[in-house]
Amino acid sequence: MYWTGLSPDEARKHLANKDKSKRDKRMSLKEAVQKYVKDGDNIGVGGFVDCRQPMAIIHEIIRQGRKDLTLTFPSEGLSVEYLAGAMALDENHLNIKRLELAYWAHEAFGISPLFRYLAENGKIEIEDWSNANMSARLKAGAMGIPFIPYRSPMGSDLVKTNRSKVIDCPFTGKPVLLLPAAHPNVAIIHVQEADMYGNCRIQGPTFVCPETSMASAYTIVTCDRLIEHEEMTRYPNRISIPYFSVDAVVEVPFGAYPGNTHGIHYFDEKHIVEFRTACDKLRKGDSGPLKEYYDNYIYGVEDFGEFISKIPYKQLQHIQKIESGIRLEAGYTAL
Amino acid sequence: MYWTGLSPDEARKHLANKDKSKRDKRMSLKEAVQKYVKDGDNIGVGGFVDCRQPMAIIHEIIRQGRKDLTLTFPSEGLSVEYLAGAMALDENHLNIKRLELAYWAHEAFGISPLFRYLAENGKIEIEDWSNANMSARLKAGAMGIPFIPYRSPMGSDLVKTNRSKVIDCPFTGKPVLLLPAAHPNVAIIHVQEADMYGNCRIQGPTFVCPETSMASAYTIVTCDRLIEHEEMTRYPNRISIPYFSVDAVVEVPFGAYPGNTHGIHYFDEKHIVEFRTACDKLRKGDSGPLKEYYDNYIYGVEDFGEFISKIPYKQLQHIQKIESGIRLEAGYTAL
Amino acid sequence: MTKKYASDYTAQEMIVVAGARTLEDNKVVFAGTGLPMVAITLAQLTHGPGIVPVFEGGAVGPKLSRGLPLSVGGSRTTYRANYLLGLNAAFELTQRGFCDYGFIGGAQIDPYGNLNSTMMGDFPENYQNPKVRLPGSGGASDMACSCERTIIIMVHEPRRFVEKLDYLTSPGYLDGSPNAREKAGIVGQGPYRVITTKAILGFDDETKRMKLIATLPGETVESVQKATGFELIIPDDVYEFEPPTEEEIRLIREVIDPQGYFVAKKIKE
Amino acid sequence: MTKKYASDYTAQEMIVVAGARTLEDNKVVFAGTGLPMVAITLAQLTHGPGIVPVFEGGAVGPKLSRGLPLSVGGSRTTYRANYLLGLNAAFELTQRGFCDYGFIGGAQIDPYGNLNSTMMGDFPENYQNPKVRLPGSGGASDMACSCERTIIIMVHEPRRFVEKLDYLTSPGYLDGSPNAREKAGIVGQGPYRVITTKAILGFDDETKRMKLIATLPGETVESVQKATGFELIIPDDVYEFEPPTEEEIRLIREVIDPQGYFVAKKIKE
């Protein structure tokens, strides 16, 4: 059995030797990506489809360029589409070597043009899993166990090509699926609120973000709002990721734009369609619009803030206004 | 392999056939115990040592009497001590057949006289596990998987007598412990706040209460405060046990007395010592004080409210006053 | 109140209506993305106010009164939810037995209700460079295994109803042999209904092959069979499905999906 | 500031002081109930304000300024915690590698640092009716396995320091053979220190047998060996442990455990 990212023993050893002290982990995104994202890394991508996507971190990875990446996630949309776009434009600057995934598309915003492009041209190695399986693999990693049993999806073709194993349960005698733990080298996660030590308070669905962080060797967190530590620890039951699982904290308002960040802003459908249309054109042979998009919005700017400043203010206001629950009091989810 | 409580397949079938509708589940504790606690049952006991113990439910089980009980829990104190006291006084009225546990004592309040009494006289069947193992067994039950791997405590004598199995991990080749899932027939749990449908909001440590409820065929919940459903669902991220896992909801203020209920009241050391001293006397041959205690506080009253009304009001006020965080706003844990 | 039937509706709207009517009140329904979300909302607004939706993002039992969610992880799935964690919690609930129905779709279906949403082409030969790469399982294969029963929504075309799938993503009755699911270790009972743009279908108790239950308005047994790439079991009691009512169509168009995200597939291609 | 040593202290107070001094600042420490909680609090109040306590009830990294917890699940463990779930979360953190030290006790210890907190009597013959039944493992066996290192606190008596345990609850170096822990599948490195009422002990790198590191004030190598039911390794560099300072004793008596719950064992028998 081969491991991508870290093996369970490597992951344990790495963490046991790590400094877990409570210290100021704020830094620039540029520094965080330089420090914690390496060529050849297995990246655990936080969020879900087009929700709470770690877009600012993705932009920075694209700007810096990285090679031979493995991406680990249950279901993603925008984050991986942006990485794929960079790869489609210049494989020498950034390339994805391998995917361990359950789903890559955009739900209401359609399928993924660039997943089709990369897969149908044989440009990436794919390992298909189910959402429950990928989530459980990261959970097993976070729990420190080398594998976890599951009761789906035996009988499917997924289990024929991925690294799961069907065994007879030693207690019931019935078939059960064993899933190897996942330990990415680095988790990239956007949350609504974090403190300077790395404690995170996620509003709405947590997706698999806490598990991904705790399974990974390093975690980079961006947050819409950096809040005071004293405010964070008033509500210990609401801390979703504890500080000692986080290595870098960067405050990036709109850090998941143009996706949806629960309680902060809704999808920017206009921008998503603009980007996705350019991706679709590339798949059909015209890379011009996508190149223009990247030159304008990613390569042509210093940081994510400069990208956001290129979005009309009214459009940003609009997606804040149509978000169901704008209040972010602790415990509040949607009002 | 034998199963106590339900086997994984029985547990799945039972739940699949169960009515999961959102309906008023309030009833008297008398009715709840009559309906959901049977002779021969495996009872999943909520709480931890002397904290958030389901004391009101325990009193009612003792009043009604039950035979051949199996008790499943990581660490308990008062709840099981009270059951053991009833057994020590009259095995024909109530008896514990079997324990699946990690720890039975009272931490700062000393060891358990009645665990010693029952065990040293060979009156119960014991299966020793670790806290992590019992917690993980209930978690596996809640997750719907027949077993869960763990990395402790191999090498101990615990794994020689309990039903765990050591195998070579099919992925790493290294030894790993497999723990069979636990599916009690009924979970008994005290929480700070619940709504009439059974949604529970636990303050402070959740212990293994959510897992125990979701692993069990039925769940009886008592709460210090019954709150409105609309208030509960304002904070969905804070719901610890979802309503469809709960079968009976009973509002019982001081329902974990004389133990500690986080945010509500502290331990009543005076009463705990009174009770424990009577238990200790029984172990040493004098059952008189314990009989008197039970006649006065349990058999001599209609319900838990009558028991509480026998405690001096000043004593109740005192344990409320010395509790660290008296505010129970959602999200607040300790102020 | 006399029912007024709608005179004008699309195939997708018909699917949504049929899907909604299939759901019982007070059941827990794990909702796949797209049309299933629309159908559940319609059922909640008509005969099933007690339906409890589960979204794989993590929201359980929310009110869907904030507008149609564009994602099963979106912020419109959480309003007044009765539990709200993440993917692991949602799928574990399902595996444990809390979900009565799963509501899923696929690109291909076979006679035993197995679904493909992964790839077109030769498997395993061309798995790493398929003819068409689809989004992948997502949670569909888990729902198909572990919800007690599954309801499948499909566009009814011969190329989608095939004797053999290119890739089996979501298990139905597998090869149809007795207890095939149980023998594979799967816990749920399997496909209950297939709701298509042309018919309502079920499965034969014994052979587990797909059978016709009802034809949708405008369709016949023959037209349904013709649109199916394998032979359907046609029982004697096939009936015509009741057309959508004006009220159902109004709810879909005006209340549930006025912008046509899923029902008109405005953005999706 | 010149240190003033306390002239009057109990064996338990000495244990607490030695335990506290053994802890490094900024480390994550999984705290067993009783004396470990007192020692951690003392360390936080002296040289280790950055120590992060983990309680198995579920509280991680709280401030211990609300008074000494009477239970590792009690409400005094949660004030300003940095994570607060339940037992599973606490033990998973440990298994994963987040806990630098585990701090545990036992009724018996053997030369390899294995502990018994389950029963006295013949095992397995009298497992179901032991001579003395102890509380059981609790989380101690998990901490002993999965914290990176363990610190053990013991009352130093010959009947507690035995060549062979009645029952092995919490693994130390098992039989002392090379890589015995790793071969058993255990992830943590094992016992680091044994702090007793008479001495500070460690383990020989090669044989994994217990060795004397320091004698506590008033004790000698001979008195320690005499109180030990097996032969200790006595290196040349055994030293005398620095006595408790007045300040340390004051903190224990006046600030940390003024009512003597754990240090004076007022209630415990």
pLDDT bin (cut points 50, 70, 90) of residue B331 is very low
Would you state the structure tokens that stand for residue C43, as one six-digit string?
């059922």
User: What whole-number distance in Å separates Cα of residue C56 and Cα of residue C42?
Assistant: 20
A184: in domain: yes
List, for residues C105-129, the tens digit of each pLDDT value. 899 999 999 999 999 999 999 999 9
**What's the CATH code of the domain at D248?**
3.40.1080.10
List, for residues D122-167, the tens digit of each pLDDT value. 999 999 999 999 999 999 999 999 999 999 999 999 999 999 999 9
A96, β-bridge pairs: A69
B244: CB partners within 8 A, 6+ apart: B20, B22, B198, C28, C52, C61, C82, C98
- pLDDT for C207 equals 97
- pLDDT for C64 equals 87
Answer whether D145 sits within 8 Å of B139, measured CB to CB: no
Please tell me the distance in Å from C192's CA to the nearest CA on chain B. Answer: 15
Answer whether B148 sits within 8 Å of A151, measured CB to CB: no
User: What whole-number distance in Å separates Cα of residue B37 and Cα of residue B255?
Assistant: 18
Over residues D213-219, the mean pLDDT reads: 96
When CB atoms are compared, the residue of B12, B21, B233 closest to C26 is: B21
Would you state the structure tokens that stand for residue C199, as one six-digit string?
């018919």
List, for residues B251-271, the tens digit of each pLDDT value. 999 999 999 999 999 999 999
B185: in domain: yes
Query: Which residue does chain A place closest to C176, by CA atoms?
Result: A155
D262: in domain: no
Structurally, how many domains does chain D consist of? Answer: 1
How large is the greatest C-alpha to C-alpha distance in chain D, in angstroms? 59
Q: Is the per-residue pLDDT at B329 higher than 60? A: no
Chain B residues in contact with A171 (beta carbon < 8 A): 1, 8, 146-147, 163, 165, 178, 180-181
B113: CB partners within 8 A, 6+ apart: B81, B276, B279, B280, B282, B283
User: What whole-number distance in Å separates Cα of residue C181 and Cα of residue C50?
Assistant: 30
List, for residues B7-61, the tens digit of each pLDDT value. 999 999 999 999 999 999 999 999 999 999 999 999 999 999 999 999 999 999 9
Chain A residues in contact with B204 (beta carbon < 8 A): 237
D30, β-bridge pairs: D54, D102
User: What whole-number distance in Å separates Cα of residue C177 and Cα of residue C169?
Assistant: 18
Chain B residues in contact with D146 (beta carbon < 8 A): 132, 151-152
Answer whether D86 sits within 8 Å of B112, measured CB to CB: no
Q: Are B260 and B287 in contact (CB under 8 A)?
A: no
List, for residues B56-73, the tens digit of each pLDDT value. 999 999 999 999 999 999
According to DSSP, residue C22 is labeled H
Answer whether D75 sits within 8 Å of B75, measured CB to CB: no
Q: Which helix (H) or strand (E) holds C20?
A: helix C11-22
Answer whether D75 sits within 8 Å of B273, measured CB to CB: no
Q: Where are the alpha helices (DSSP H) in A173-245?
A: 209-215, 229-232
D266: in domain: no
Please tell me the distance in Å from A334's CA to the nearest CA on chain C. Answer: 6
Answer whether B152 sits within 8 Å of D146, measured CB to CB: yes
Burial of A41 (0-12, 13-18, 19+ CB in 10 A): buried
- pTM score of the predicted model: 0.97
- pLDDT for D46 equals 95
Query: B169 CB near a chain A CB, below 8 Å?
Result: yes
Query: Which residue does chain C place closest to A173, by CA atoms?
Result: C185
In one-letter notation, the amino acid at residue B216 is S
A335: in domain: no
Q: Residue count of chain B, please give it.
A: 335
A222, β-bridge pairs: A190, A250
Q: Where are the alpha helices (DSSP H) in C97-242?
A: 140-146, 180-184, 221-226
Chain B residues in contact with A204 (beta carbon < 8 A): 237
Burial of B273 (0-12, 13-18, 19+ CB in 10 A): middle
Q: Which helix (H) or strand (E) holds B288?
A: helix B288-294
Q: Do A and D make contact, counting contact as 3+ CB pairs within 8 angstroms? A: yes
Q: Is A224 helix (H, G, I), strand (E, B) or coil?
A: strand
Alpha-carbon torsion B210, B216, B222, B228, what sign?
A: positive
Chain C residues in contact with B182 (beta carbon < 8 A): none
When CB atoms are compared, the residue of A129, A135, A151 closest to C146 is: A151
Q: Do B and D make contact, counting contact as 3+ CB pairs within 8 angstroms? A: yes
- pLDDT for B332 equals 42
Mutate: best of D71, D112, D129, D166, partner B, most B CBs <10 A: D71
Answer whether A211 sits within 8 Å of C88, measured CB to CB: yes
- Between A234 and A77, name the one with better pLDDT: A77
Q: Is A103 helix (H, G, I), strand (E, B) or coil?
A: strand
pLDDT bin (cut points 50, 70, 90) of residue B275 is very high
Query: B230 CB near a chain A CB, below 8 Å?
Result: no
**What's the CATH code of the domain at B165?**
3.40.1080.10
- pLDDT for C265 equals 47
Q: Are A255 and A56 in contact (CB under 8 A)?
A: yes
Query: A302 CB near a chain D CB, below 8 Å?
Result: no
User: What would the DSSP string read from start to end of chain D?
Assistant: ----B-S---HHHHHHHHHHHHSPTT-EEEE-SSHHHHHHHHHHHTT-TT-EEE-TTSEES---TT---SSTTSGGG-TT-SEE-BHHHHHHHHHHT--SEEEEE-SEE-TT--EE-SEES-TTTTTTS-SEE----TTHHHHHHHSSEEEEEE---TTTB-SS-SS--B-SSTT--TTHHHHHT--S--EEEEEESSEEEEE-TTT--EEEEEEPTT--HHHHHHT-SSPPB--TT-EEPPPPBHHHHHIIIIII-TT-SSSS-SS--
B148: in domain: yes
Would you state the structure tokens that stand for residue C24, as one six-digit string?
């019982």
In a 13 Å sphere around the CA of B218, the CA atoms on its Cβ side amount to 17
Alpha-carbon torsion D154, D158, D163, D167, what sign?
A: negative
B92: CB partners within 8 A, 6+ apart: none
Q: Is the per-residue pLDDT at C132 higher than 70? A: yes
Chain C residues in contact with A52 (beta carbon < 8 A): 73
Over residues D100-120, the mean pLDDT reads: 96
Task: Determine the angle formed by the axes of helices C11-22 and C35-45, rounding to 10 degrees.
Answer: 60
Q: Where are the alpha helices (DSSP H) in B22-95?
A: 29-36, 55-64, 78-89
Q: Is the per-residue pLDDT at B326 higher than 60? A: no
- pLDDT for C218 equals 93
Chain C residues in contact with A204 (beta carbon < 8 A): 58-59, 75, 78, 84
Omega of the bond leading into C178 within 30 degrees of 0 (cis): no
D56, D148, D219, D248: the active-site residue: D56
- How far is CA C210 from each of CA B54, C176, C197, rounded to the nearest angstrom? 51, 10, 16
Q: Are C36 and C104 in contact (CB under 8 A)?
A: yes
C84: in domain: yes
Q: Is the per-residue pLDDT at B330 higher than 50? A: no
Over residues D112-121, the mean pLDDT reads: 98
User: What whole-number distance in Å separates Cα of residue A236 and Cα of residue A223?
Assistant: 18
Would you state the structure tokens that stand for residue D233, as one six-digit string?
């390794």
Give yes or no: C56 in active site. Answer: yes
List, for residues C11-62, the tens digit of each pLDDT value. 999 999 999 999 999 999 999 888 888 999 999 999 999 999 999 999 999 9
D185: CB partners within 8 A, 6+ apart: B151, B154, B155, B166, B174, B175, B176, B177
Going by C-alpha positions, the residue among C208, C202, C210 that lies closest to residue C181 is: C208
Write out the residue range of the structural domain in which residue D157 sits: 11-256
C13, C56, C219, C248: the active-site residue: C56
- pLDDT for C262 equals 85
Could you tell me which residues of chain C have a Cβ less than 8 Å from any Cβ in chain B? 26-28, 50, 52, 59-62, 78, 80-84, 92-98, 100, 146, 148, 187-188
In one-letter notation, the amino acid at residue B50 is D
B335: in domain: no
Sheet order of strands, B175-180 included:
B147-150, B175-180, B165-168
pLDDT bin (cut points 50, 70, 90) of residue B1 is confident
pLDDT bin (cut points 50, 70, 90) of residue C66 is confident
User: What would the DSSP string read from start to end of A259-313?
Assistant: SBBTTTB---HHHHHHHHHHHHHHHTT--HHHHHHHIIIIITSSSHHHHHHTS-H
Residue in this structure with the two tokens 């009947």, named with its chain if needed: D159
User: What whole-number distance in Å separates Cα of residue D138 and Cα of residue A108?
Assistant: 50
Q: Is the per-residue pLDDT at A330 higher than 50? A: no
User: First and final CA of chain D: distance in angstroms?
Assistant: 40
D1: in domain: no
Q: Is the per-residue pLDDT at A335 higher than 60? A: no
Chain A residues in contact with D83 (beta carbon < 8 A): 199, 236, 239, 242
State what percent of residues in chain B have pLDDT above 90.
95
Going by C-alpha positions, the residue among D86, A262, D76, B197 that lies closest to residue C52 is: B197
Stretch among A305-319, D32-46, D105-119 having the lowest mean pLDDT: D32-46
Chain A residues in contact with D66 (beta carbon < 8 A): none
Answer whether A108 sits within 8 Å of C128, measured CB to CB: no
Q: Are A195 and A228 in contact (CB under 8 A)?
A: yes
Query: Which residue does chain D place closest to B259, by CA atoms?
Result: D74
Q: Are C114 and C171 in contact (CB under 8 A)?
A: yes
D162: in domain: yes
- pLDDT for A328 equals 53
- pLDDT for D268 equals 36
State what percent of residues in chain D have pLDDT above 70.
97
Query: What angle (nearest 5°) sits at the alpha carbon of residue B61, between those of residues B56 and B65?
Result: 150
Over residues A82-100, the mean pLDDT reads: 98
> Rg (Cα) of chain A, in Å, rounded?
19
Mutate: best of D27, D29, D75, D82, partner A, most A CBs <10 A: D82
- pLDDT for C266 equals 41
Query: A145 CB near a chain C CB, below 8 Å?
Result: no
Q: Where are the alpha helices (DSSP H) in B55-153?
A: 55-64, 78-89, 113-120, 131-143
D29: CB partners within 8 A, 6+ apart: D23, D40, D51, D52, D53, D54, D99, D100, D101, D102, D103
- pLDDT for D1 equals 56
Query: Which residue does chain B place closest to C84, by CA atoms?
Result: B237
- pLDDT for D34 equals 85
pLDDT bin (cut points 50, 70, 90) of residue B96 is very high
D217, β-bridge pairs: none
ipTM computed for the complex: 0.97
According to DSSP, residue A50 is labeled T
A124: CB partners within 8 A, 6+ apart: A96, A97, A98, A99, A118
Q: Where are the alpha helices (DSSP H) in chain A?
A: 8-16, 29-36, 55-64, 78-89, 113-120, 131-143, 158-161, 209-215, 229-232, 269-283, 288-294, 304-309, 313-321
Query: B11 CB near a chain C CB, below 8 Å?
Result: yes
Chain B residues in contact with A15 (beta carbon < 8 A): none
Query: A333 CB near a chain C CB, below 8 Å?
Result: yes
Write out the residue range of the structural domain in which residue A28 sits: 8-330
Please tell me the distance in Å from D11's CA to the nearest CA on chain A. Answer: 32
User: What whole-number distance in Å separates Cα of residue B333 and Cα of residue C47?
Assistant: 41
User: What b-and-e string marks burial along A136-154, b requiring 16 or more CB atoms within 10 Å of the CB?
Assistant: bbbbbbbbbbbbbbbbbbb
Mutate: best of C28, C44, C96, C192, partner B, most B CBs <10 A: C96
- Computed over every residue of chain C, the mean pLDDT equals 94
List, for residues B161-203, the tens digit of each pLDDT value. 999 999 999 999 999 999 999 999 999 999 999 999 999 999 9
- pLDDT for D65 equals 84
- How far is CA B286 from each of CA A249, B112, B270, B289, rounded to the nearest angstrom? 63, 16, 21, 7
Q: Is the per-residue pLDDT at D190 higher than 80? A: yes
How many interchain CB pairs under 8 A, A with D? 79
Q: Which helix (H) or strand (E) holds C44?
A: helix C35-45
Please tell me the distance in Å from B193's CA to the nearest CA on chain C. Answer: 14
Over residues C166-187, the mean pLDDT reads: 98
Over residues C78-94, the mean pLDDT reads: 97
Mutate: best of D83, D88, D91, partner A, most A CBs <10 A: D83
- pLDDT for D264 equals 72
Structurally, how many domains does chain A consist of? Answer: 1
Q: Which helix (H) or strand (E) holds B69?
A: strand B69-72
Query: Which residue does chain B place closest to D79, by CA atoms?
Result: B334
- pLDDT for B327 equals 52
Q: Is B275 helix (H, G, I), strand (E, B) or coil?
A: helix
